[in-house]
Amino acid sequence: MGAEADRISPVAYAIRGLEEVLTPALAVYSEFVDNNIAATIRLLDGDASRWRPHVKTAKLGWMMERLVASGVTNFKCATTLELLAACRAGARDVLVAYPVQGANAQRVREIARESPRVRVSVLVENPADVQQWAGSAVGIFLDLNAGMNRTGISLAERDQLRRVVAAIGAAGCEFRGLHYYDGHHRQLDLRERTTAAHRGYDELMKLAAELETSGTPPGEVITSGTPTMPCALSYPWFRGARFVHRVSPGTVVYGDARSIEQLPDSGYQPAVLVVSRVVSHPAPDIVTADAGHKTVSADAGVPTCAVLGRPGYNPLSPSEEHLPIRIPPGKDVPAAGEFLYLLPMHVCPTVNNFDEALIITAGRIERVERVTARGRETPLRTAVAS
């Protein structure tokens, strides 16, 4: 991570007028956002419809609207608040890529009913769950377990897959396709990652062919978050298939230390940083910034981030509001009050830590935008309805 971050020019990320900013602050750089959208569409041979980004990263309605303006109108999401934000931002097709149950399922039905111009779909992995979608316009994707062992049906469980497809038809619902998230392939070596991913795609293609033979062809096959997007794009059998193939990376819209390392030479640039201040100097070789794990997510481990423009600075294990950083020998020690620009290791949950974001254009704070889909809707459905 450090080597990749050290190659990024800090000059391009300097922000004028920070003296009035309360830190820590989330900074979203509009030019780099546009660059990353364009880079993704370029990788898709200019076809924006092949991209179904997961908006767990985007979070801001501003960001979703920017995607729509670029021709990206198919999205994935995990929460009802993300679904609502995507519908309001102009999405035309949204998959709730999470196995919602009970009141959550009822809320999805409500949002779909209130958004008749949006094609809403959900994931299902067993026949019993199909019935909760009967009588609605909500379509259904089979959720396949690609190897993460999180949710979904194993590709080897052909009988279960057939039972679910039959249940979808019996309930009068529309079978829309297959969802295959292979996010467990994170090998740093792209060739190794690609070989592993292609083995899974071979099995996926066999299932698609069997479904077509049985008279229930998948209309769409969705694969690939950020690490395996290049693997899917190099898989020859997705091109010219009878189904529509889409990839679903979300992290690429903002980029982070991990994704920049996983996708070298793809044209991506970090578009989100956390602006923090040095608040303490507790030891000769340590300073503390106001960016603990309630600011920069620690879910990807330690270090949680890289310090832009400060080669060798080593962020240590954070506490809730404190981020100790070890300064290497011979390097300048920043003074209390000095600003540090932090590149998160994992940007998605980091964005979710903030209520609002600074939109930066040409090095200046253009405005403040709400992180629209942060957190969740109120847990009581009657309160939502009122």
* Token pair in block for residue 23: 């830190």
The CATH number of whichever domain residue 243 belongs to comes to 3.20.20.10
- Which of 340, 278, 279 is CA-nearest to residue 308? 340
Same domain, 41 and 23: no
Same domain, 115 and 193: yes
pLDDT in tens, the chain (386 residues): 456 667 788 899 999 999 999 999 999 999 999 999 999 999 999 999 999 999 999 999 999 999 999 999 999 999 999 999 999 999 999 999 999 999 999 999 999 999 999 999 999 999 999 999 999 999 999 999 999 999 999 999 999 999 999 999 999 999 999 999 999 999 989 999 999 999 999 999 999 999 999 999 999 999 999 999 999 999 999 999 999 999 999 999 999 999 999 998 899 999 999 999 999 999 999 999 999 999 999 999 999 999 999 999 999 999 999 999 999 999 999 999 999 999 999 999 999 999 999 999 999 999 999 999 999 999 997 777 66
Same domain, 137 and 282: no
The CATH number of whichever domain residue 298 belongs to comes to 2.40.37.20
Return the pLDDT at 386.
64
Query: Roughly how many angstroms between the first and final C-alpha of the chain, as a whole number?
Result: 47
Helices 190-213 and 158-170 pack at an angle, to 10 degrees, of: 50
Return the pLDDT at 7.
76
Tell me if 376 is assigned to some domain: no
Tell me if 225 is assigned to some domain: yes
User: If phi over 0 gives left and psi between -120 and 50 gives alpha, with beta otherwise, what is residue 212?
Assistant: alpha
Tell me if 347 is assigned to some domain: yes
Tell me if 44 is assigned to some domain: yes
Same domain, 92 and 167: yes
Same domain, 20 and 54: no
Question: Of 200, 229, 254, which one is at a domain's C-terminal end?
Answer: 254
Same domain, 245 and 172: yes
- Which of 260, 250, 190, 262 is CA-nearest to residue 224? 250
* Token pair in block for residue 85: 């934000």
Same domain, 303 and 200: no
How many domains would you assign to the chain?
Answer: 2
Domain that holds residue 237: 31-254
Tell me if 244 is assigned to some domain: yes
Same domain, 21 and 162: no
Question: Of 191, 226, 254, which one is at a domain's C-terminal end?
Answer: 254
Same domain, 123 and 141: yes
Same domain, 36 and 115: yes
Same domain, 244 and 281: no
- Which of 70, 63, 116, 69 is CA-nearest to residue 94? 116
Question: How many Å separate Cα 190 from the centre of its chain?
Answer: 20
Tell me if 40 is assigned to some domain: yes
Tell me if 377 is assigned to some domain: no
Return the pLDDT at 384.
72
- Which of 385, 386, 354 is CA-nearest to residue 371? 354
CA atoms within 13 A on the CB side of 89: 31
Which DSSP letter does residue 290 get?
A: S
Tell me if 180 is assigned to some domain: yes
Same domain, 23 and 42: no
CA atoms within 13 A on the CB side of 145: 16
Report whether 207 contacts 161 (CB < 8 A): yes
Question: Of 210, 225, 254, which one is at a domain's C-terminal end?
Answer: 254
